[in-house]
């Protein structure tokens, strides 16, 4: 799709960890939390634990978490998709979808991440800093917030509730 035709996140098709196409418009009307994940990061456990907590609490109210494995930060996601899935499912029992590995910086940045980063983010500059950078997408498919990797998943709760329209 030509980039000028892209108006929201729903215009993208990505691959899931099994290699199947997923049209992101299937998430229309949901609030999305998009995270680049890694299995071997020292901070992996706390992030997955809190992502699970958020998911448990808000999935019925319309939150979806989309996790994109990325091996660009200190090679902390070296495994195959199957190994990643196995790790995430057995260690964390995460129920949210894990997608195909992507690059988030550089020439081979995935089209989705190009879109995510295309906003005017000022201080954040262009590059994703590390594993577990977070983006919140509103129900219309627009980027509503970008957060540093160090922002804990649970500290996004207020913003998620606002986007979901729940109190």
Ligand X SMILES: *[C@@H]1O[C@H](CO)[C@@H](O)[C@H](O)[C@H]1NC(C)=O
Query: Site residues (CB under 6 A) for ligand X?
Result: 41, 43, 46-47, 50, 130-132, 149-150, 152-153
Q: Least Å distance between CB 70 and ligand X? A: 11
Residue closer to ligand X, measured from CB, 24 or 35: 35
Tokens 């996790």 locate to 67
13 versus 155: smaller Cβ distance to ligand X? 155
Task: Identify which of residues 76 and 110 has a Cβ nearer to ligand X in the complex.
Answer: 76
70 is a catalytic site residue? no
Q: Shortest Cβ distance from residue 133 to ligand X (Å)? A: 8
CB 4 → ligand X: shortest distance, Å? 34
* Nearer to ligand X (CB atom), residue 150 or residue 165: 150
Given 17, 38, 41, 63, the catalytic residue? 41
- DSSP letter string over the chain? --GGG--SGGG-EEEBTTS-EEEGGGGTTSEEEEEEE-SS-TTHHHHHHHHHHHHHHHGGGTEEEEEEE---STT---S-HHHHHHHIIIII---S-BB-----SSTT--HHHHHHHTS--GGG-SS--STT-EEEE-TTS-EEEEE-TTS-GGGGHHHHHHHHT--
Q: Least distance (Å) from ligand X to the CB of residue 111?
A: 23
**Catalytic residue numbers?**
41
């Amino acid at each position: 799709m030509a980039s000028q035709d892209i108006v929201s996140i729903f215009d993208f098709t990505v691959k899931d960890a099994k290699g199947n196409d997923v049209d992101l418009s299937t998430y229309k009307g949901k609030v999305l939390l998009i995270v680049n994940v890694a299995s071997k990061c020292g901070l992996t456990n706390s992030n997955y634990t809190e992502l699970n907590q958020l998911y448990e609490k808000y999935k019925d109210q319309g939150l979806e978490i989309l996790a994109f494995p990325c091996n660009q930060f200190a090679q902390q996601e070296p495994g195959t998709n199957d190994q990643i899935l196995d790790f995430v499912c057995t260690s964390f029992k995460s129920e949210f979808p894990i997608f195909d590995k992507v690059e988030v910086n550089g020439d081979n940045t995935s089209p989705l991440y190009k879109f995510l980063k295309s906003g005017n983010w000022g201080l954040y500059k262009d590059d994703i800093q590390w594993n577990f950078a977070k983006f919140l997408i509103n129900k219309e498919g627009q980027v509503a917030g970008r957060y540093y990797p160090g922002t804990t998943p649970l500290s996004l709760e207020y913003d998620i509730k606002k986007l979901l329209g729940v109190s």
